[in-house]
Amino acid sequence: MSAPNSGTPPTESTTALAALSTEQLIGSGQEGGLLDQVRAWVQRVRGGDMGALPAVAGFIVLSILFTILSPYFFTERNFANLLTQAATLVMLGMALVFVLLLGEIDLSAGVTAGLTMVIFVVLIAVVNLNWILALAIAFLTGIAIGTFIGFFVAKVGIPSFVVTLGLFLGFQGLELIIIGAGGLYRVETPEILAIQNSTLPTWGGWVMVAVMLAISATMSFIDRARRTRAEVPNRTIALVWAKLIAIAVLGGGVVLILNQNRGTGFKAIEGVPIVVPITLAILWIGTFVLDRTKFGRYIYAVGGNAEAARRSGVKVAMIRWCAFIVCSSLAVVSGLFSISKVGSVDAAAGREIVLSGVAAAVVGGVSLFGGRGRLIHAAIGALVIAVITNGLGLLNLPAGVNYAVTGGVLILAATIDAVSRKRAGGSILRT
Amino acid sequence: MDMPIIELKGVVKSFGPVDVLKGVNFTAYPGKITALVGDNGAGKSTLIKGLAGVQPYDGGQVLFDGSPVTLHSPRDAGDLGIEVVYQDLALCDNLDIVQNMFLGREELSAGTFDEGRMEREAAETLRQLSVRTVKSVRQKVSSLSGGQRQTVAIARSVLKKAKVVILDEPTAALGVAQTAQVLALVKRLAEQGVSVILISHNLVDVFEVADYISVLYLGQMVASVKASETNNEDVIGYITGAKTYEGTPA
């Protein structure tokens, strides 16, 4: 047994905290050393609160499997490829988290991405609009779509499944009308193509890791300072160091691999693809909003028990509405990632990806029943699906196998979700 | 006698052709526990939903601290310091105790949550109510027992500095030991000067804690008596309509 508060820095008055926690009959779950915290975490996992654990395990197992099966899998080139392939799905999965947390769904997110990109590219190619202006119009269209869905779901009261299924069909039609059957537009904007095809300078990757470490450390210490000021116990500081070390090792490892020359010709290709820092920034901002602001907390509350939230004064309809707007707006970003990778837009843009987006979130540990999940879960889930697609592709297996395996993984993940929810007791007392 | 904090005069409410409340008078005093009893369909829930602002009354007068008020939304009730602890508890399973207690009134510092301060206040409130059954204030509500949930829901109203707390069947789903704990909690709530309105079917509970008993029968207040001046048999008589209360409303 480690002594309580072991490892807290001398700056915090350890004795006062110890006195407080003995007097305090109710704990806060923050007491104890590293070992106690690890033990508490194991207990939570056993209780059904697994988070992204199955997905992380799946990612590691699949990576090892494909490394054994294919000599091309674990190479610098494929690693960079994997990240850029996954980026679209990561972004779409993160977009969907906002509505999945409410227990809603947006089946139109993929075609929202597709339609806004069709509008974007056509505005540039046909109307000769400035690309920034076209991009602004694409985003405004995304926001308008979210507003439209939110209105019908939150105000009129139609199930989101039906509204967005309608839009899923309607937008495909709209894409066809704008582009014409079999039509295709090339993406000519260098700034957009750069997202997936250009890289940071090699030093830029290190700066990125440094910024991540700085932000994480600052946030942790601000949190600790606030808790100390409120005279409630802090978690052992070892956890902060562990987190920072994990970021440094993981981030550093990724940057190290990506900074190797992966070009096949004379021109060196090295550095972190630009899409990576963009995705990380959106992941960080989104997580900040979900964890630390009223909007985020109320999304979880509405997803957990909408009636309880309403009685607590939460404007439930407004929260729902805003969540759909956030989802559609982030879907536009995923569309940008997609056209940057593919280099063109056709009339079927975004038709296939939406279910993969939902799958990514669910595989990562976001609950379809609402109220449980984080953005990082969707990102990890998307990486799992991307690894499957990428690995099976390297093995030259037919596309059908890819669909079948991805579908199987989705059902497995949904099963884990349902079973862990039962274990957590959520289904017993839910009204 | 103290001035009542809540006074309803001739309150009416109907759903379509059905008159649920037919001119109900009701009073509740600060620091006292008033039990509201009546058979199913007597109008208890409708009466408290009106007080909570969830379903506004169609007519009649509501006096709060002697002055007339309107209760059109839960926010109106909340602003006055009227809090309802519902039978289904209205807690979010996926949030922890602190997050539930502060839901809708989170404390911010520089635009983001001040979790430390909220945790401290939540723990203090629970301690003040001598709650010992909860292990950690950062437990998810899904891991709590029925009695613990009731405790959190009641503590939530205390945290909101409620002047009137309405408890809807707080012991309905609880075992013997948990019922005793919750009733003790209800008494402590009243000792702190809060006016408690207790809705219950269990007359044993009612006689254990209530200062006043008000009986609804088919949308009318048929009796309002001091608990010390009546007995189980009479109250059952009022509830079933077998007996008529003769005295003046207490």
Q: Residues B119-136: pLDDT tens digits?
A: 999 988 888 787 777 888
**Cross-chain CB nearest to A29 (options B84, B113, B138):** B138
Partners of residue A49 in chain B, C-beta under 8 Å: 140
Q: So what's the pLDDT on residue B32?
A: 93
Question: Over the range A334-365, which residues count as b (16 or more CB within 10 Å of their CB) and which as e?
Answer: bbbbbbbbeeebbbbbbeebbebbbbbbbbbb
Find out whether A323 and A331 touch, Cβ atoms under 8 Å: no
Rounded Cα distance between B142 and A308, Å, is: 14
- Looking at per-residue pLDDT, the higher value among A27 and B7 belongs to B7
pLDDT of residue A267: 81
Q: What is the pLDDT of residue A4?
A: 43
Each residue's pLDDT tens digit, B140-165: 888 888 888 888 888 888 888 889 99
Q: What is the predicted pLDDT for the residue at A20?
A: 42
| Predicted pLDDT at A430 | 35
**B168-196 pLDDT tens trace:** 888 887 888 888 888 988 998 899 889 99
B162-182 per-residue burial string, b: 16 or more CB within 10 A, e: under 16: bbbbbbbbbbebbeeebbebb
A223 located within any domain: no
ipTM computed for the complex: 0.83
CATH number of the B6-240 domain = 3.40.50.300
Partners of residue B139 in chain A, C-beta under 8 Å: 29
pLDDT at A414: 83
Asked if the Cβ–Cβ distance from A226 to B114 is below 8 Å, we say: yes
Which pLDDT value is given to residue A213?
96
Contact B137 A29 (CB under 8 A): yes
Q: How many Å lie between the alpha carbon of A310 and the closest alpha carbon of chain B? A: 9
Nearest chain B residue to A228 by CA: give it: B116
Residue A37 lies in a domain: no
Which segments of chain A have a pLDDT < 50? 1-24, 426-431
Instruction: Taking residues B48-68, report their average pLDDT.
Output: 90
Tokens 């909860």 belong to B134
Which residues of chain A lie closer than 8 angstroms to B115, CB-CB?
223, 226-227
Question: A28–B106: do the CB atoms touch at under 8 Å?
Answer: no
Domain harbouring A329, CATH code: 1.10.3470
How many other CB atoms are there within 10 angstroms of residue B36's CB atom? 28
Q: Which range marks the domain in which residue A53 is found?
A: 47-198+273-423
Stronger pLDDT, B3 or A381, i.e. the higher one? A381
Residue A423: predicted pLDDT: 67
Calculate the dihedral angle through the C-alpha atoms of A133, A139, A143, A146, rounding to the nearest 10 degrees.
Answer: 150
A396-404's contacts with Cβ under 8 Å and 24+ in sequence apart are none
* Residue-level pLDDT at B170: 86
Domain segments of chain B as ranges: 6-240
The pLDDT value recorded for residue A5 is 42
Helix H or strand E segment including A45: helix A34-46
Q: Do A230 and B114 touch (CB under 8 A)?
A: yes
Type of residue numbered B154: I
> What pLDDT was estimated at residue A11?
39
Domain count, chain A: 1
| Interface probe, candidates A26, A285, A372, chain B, greatest B C-beta count within 10 A | A26
